[in-house]
Structure 1
Amino acid sequence: MRAAASLLAVSALAFLVVALMPADPVEIAIRAWNLPANPATVSAMRAEWGLDQPLAQRYFNWLAGFVTGDWGRSFRTGEPVFDEFMKRLPLSLTLGISGLVLAGVLAVPLGFAAALRPRGIADRFSRGLAISVQAVPAFWLGLLLIWVLGVKFQLIRPFSGGPSIYALAIVLIALHSIGLFARIYRRDMLEQTGQPYFRTAIAKGLTRRQAMWHHCHCSALYAMLSAVRSEAGWAIGTTATLEVLFGLPGVSQFLVQSISARDYSALLAYIMTVAVWMLTMNAAMELTMRRLDPRSA
């Protein structure tokens, strides 16, 4: 129920903001398509796109169509927005989810090594990684890797859309979260080493490594997963940046092309897709954390 109310509030606010954006999509389309800018043409296009209706009526008409799968037609391409998104959404989801999964998989051993030897090499590396990726934009790092790997050593073909470009995009998405996940995992694991049950495990003959893995890992993983929800938002932004940078045919590239045309239907579809993504990630993480919580056993 809360999710539905949140989506409804997001849809109303998004529709209002998009509708009040400066510039008229009809005027933009007339200039782009070299149509006669006479009152008859303008009136016909506004009626065809439903822009001659009151704002409230336009919102309810759009909302009724959206929930039934009719997301409107793109002002820019003339194609149904739903079809345009369904062609591009799998790529964007694959990049974002793969990046988050890769970050989590790599963060666990890095965080464990950092907790096992505080102030050691892994500890310093994870700290440096967490700080540096926050200071370096993904766009700049992507350009640097294109120059190094594509121009200098010719290991990849930039803008080719091949497997190497997809892999590079996933690594860059993961890179933003690995350091943060590792630091959270390390912090919680070190906190658990101060608990009585950990000292009891050591007294029973387990090594520090064994005791940390068997008795601290689940709690540290629980803490790390709580950060995935916030990082899911960053993954959207990084995915959008890399789709534009590498020329990948994802949803975000379609959005960038639609902004200048004031393509209302495409903009609203993107906002709602992001909202559903965030709610889905929150629900998935809550379910996973509930299963990992020892108190729920």
Structure 2
Amino acid sequence: MPTLIARRLAQLVPTVLLLSVIIFSLQHLLPGDPALVLAGENPDEATLAAIRAQYHLDQPLIVQYLYWLKGVATGDLGESMRHNRPVLDLILLKLPVTLQLAVMGIGIALVVGITAGIISALRQNSAVDYATNIASLAGISVPNFWLGILLILFFSVHLGWLPASGFVSPSEDLGMNLATTIMPAFVLGIGIAGVIMRHTRGAMLQALSSDYVRTARAKGLNERSVVLKHAMRNALTPIITLGALEFGALLSGAVLTEQIFTIPGFGKLIVDAVFTRDYPVVQGVVLVTSLFYIILNLLADIGYILVNPRLRG
């Protein structure tokens, strides 16, 4: 395992460099001049020149990239043009909010999806199997914004059990924190649960029909041991990859859900930055999100080995 981790870490450097080039280049393909946005209405040339000089916008793209890359290497992601604050401070302020939603969402997805997938595989072609497949298809098909609005109408407006919007930090009030995040986390997790359920069902059906499961049953092992120790352990390998990728998607793709529930997370930060041409914030958020994907893939590789010891060789 140490050799695998070292090899994967060695691949991070060229991968991150390539990502940084793509992120920086694509960002500057967006239309509009950030200097005009910052200067306000009817700016004079002197003001525009000062803004461009301050943010190195008057330099060639390669020079701007090298300035940005030097800052990134030292932990400086630049300064927000809109907020006049370090980008890293804004990310550290917003990231815990989205991270909590993502963790809760993927937790709901894994518990519901894996459990339903195993039950569906064990009850193949039964009423339970058909019901779980229909439920998973519904979870995948229902748009997040529509489900979120329905939950607000039912649990907040009709029953009055949960707040309709807003966010309370867990350090202030843990109960209110859970009350404000459970609905958006459910909205984020239920669609992924449908995907995980279908993958788990397929992997379990393949595992249950394999020779090693038939051998385990022939030896007289009880069904619980056969399912949990032999079949499920091998079936979890593709679920690890799927879970890692979906968790990364939750970190970067919770924009609509955060907007519906007025959650001040990563989604609102990136949307505001794009509309205001706040290049440093957009670059910083996309870079951090990309790094999360890379780290999650590394953790998925480690998870393969932990679940399936045969891969250690």
TM-score (norm. length: structure 2): 0.87
Query: In structure 1, which of residues 43, 50, 55 is the aligned counterpart of residue 61 of structure 2?
Result: 55
Aligned to 1:24: 33
Query: In structure 2, which of residues 261, 278, 285 is the aligned counterpart of residue 263 of structure 1?
Result: 278
For the residue of structure 1 that corresponds to 2:43, the secondary structure is coil
Q: Is the 8 A contact 2:252 2:266 kept in 1?
A: no
Query: In structure 2, which of residues 147, 161, 172 is the aligned counterpart of residue 155 of structure 1?
Result: 161
For the residue of structure 2 that corresponds to 1:78, the secondary structure is coil
Distance, in Å, in 1 between the alignment partners of 2:49 and 2:211 is 76
Closer/same/farther in 2, CA of residues 129 and 109 from structure 1, 3 Å limit:
same
For these two proteins, the number of residue pairs brought into alignment is 294
Closer/same/farther in 2, CA of residues 133 and 43 from structure 1, 3 Å limit:
same
Q: Is the 8 A contact 1:138 1:238 kept in 2?
A: no
Aligned to 1:104: 110
Query: In structure 1, which of residues 149, 155, 174 is the aligned counterpart of residue 189 of structure 2?
Result: 174
Answer yes or no: is 1:235 the counterpart of 2:244.
no
Q: Which deviations, in whole Å up to 9, do the C-alpha atoms of 1:232-274 show, x marking residues without a partner? A: 3432354222222211121221111111110000000011011
Q: Give how far 1:210 is off.
A: 4.1
Answer yes or no: is 1:13 the counterpart of 2:22.
yes
Equivalent runs, 1:203-218 vs 2, <5 Å = 203-218=218-233
Q: Give how far 1:207 is off.
A: 4.5
For the residue of structure 1 that corresponds to 2:273, the secondary structure is helix
Write the letter of the residue equivalent to 1:144. L
Q: Give how far 1:192 is off.
A: 1.9
Q: Which deviations, in whole Å up to 9, do the C-alpha atoms of 1:93-121 show, x marking residues without a partner? A: 22213322331122222122111111234
TM-score (norm. length: structure 1): 0.92
Identity of matched residues, %: 28
RMSD, aligned CA: 1.9
Aligned to 1:92: 98
> Which stretch shifts more, 236-245 or 3-12?
236-245
Q: Which deviations, in whole Å up to 9, do the C-alpha atoms of 1:213-238 show, x marking residues without a partner? A: 23211011223212223323432354
Write the letter of the residue equivalent to 2:20. S
Runs (4+) of structure 1 exceeding 6 A deviation are none
Query: In structure 2, which of residues 115, 121, 131 is the aligned counterpart of residue 125 of structure 1?
Result: 131
Aligned to 1:183: 198
Closer/same/farther in 2, CA of residues 105 and 135 from structure 1, 3 Å limit:
closer
Q: Give how far 1:168 is off.
A: 1.3
Distance, in Å, in 2 between the alignment partners of 1:70 and 1:284 is 26
Closer/same/farther in 2, CA of residues 124 and 233 from structure 1, 3 Å limit:
farther
> Which stretch shifts more, 249-258 or 230-239?
230-239
Write the letter of the residue equivalent to 1:123. D
Distance, in Å, in 2 between the alignment partners of 1:203 and 1:262 is 66
Distance, in Å, in 2 between the alignment partners of 1:160 and 1:227 is 30
Closer/same/farther in 2, CA of residues 295 and 67 from structure 1, 3 Å limit:
same
Distance, in Å, in 2 between the alignment partners of 1:93 and 1:132 is 26
Q: Give how far 1:40 is off.
A: 1.1
Q: Which deviations, in whole Å up to 9, do the C-alpha atoms of 1:56-102 show, x marking residues without a partner? A: 10000011001211111111111111111111111212221332233
Q: Give how far 1:44 is off.
A: 1.1
> Which stretch shifts more, 16-25 or 201-210?
201-210
Q: Is the 8 A contact 2:141 2:191 kept in 1?
A: no
Q: Give how far 1:286 is off.
A: 0.8
Distance, in Å, in 2 between the alignment partners of 1:290 and 1:11 is 30
Gaps of 5+ in 2: 1-9, 168-175
Write the letter of the residue equivalent to 1:97. V
Equivalent runs, 1:238-257 vs 2, <5 Å = 238-257=253-272
Q: Is the 8 A contact 1:229 1:285 kept in 2?
A: yes
Aligned to 1:113: 119
Q: Give how far 1:51 is off.
A: 0.8
Write the letter of the residue equivalent to 2:213. F
For the residue of structure 1 that corresponds to 2:146, the secondary structure is helix
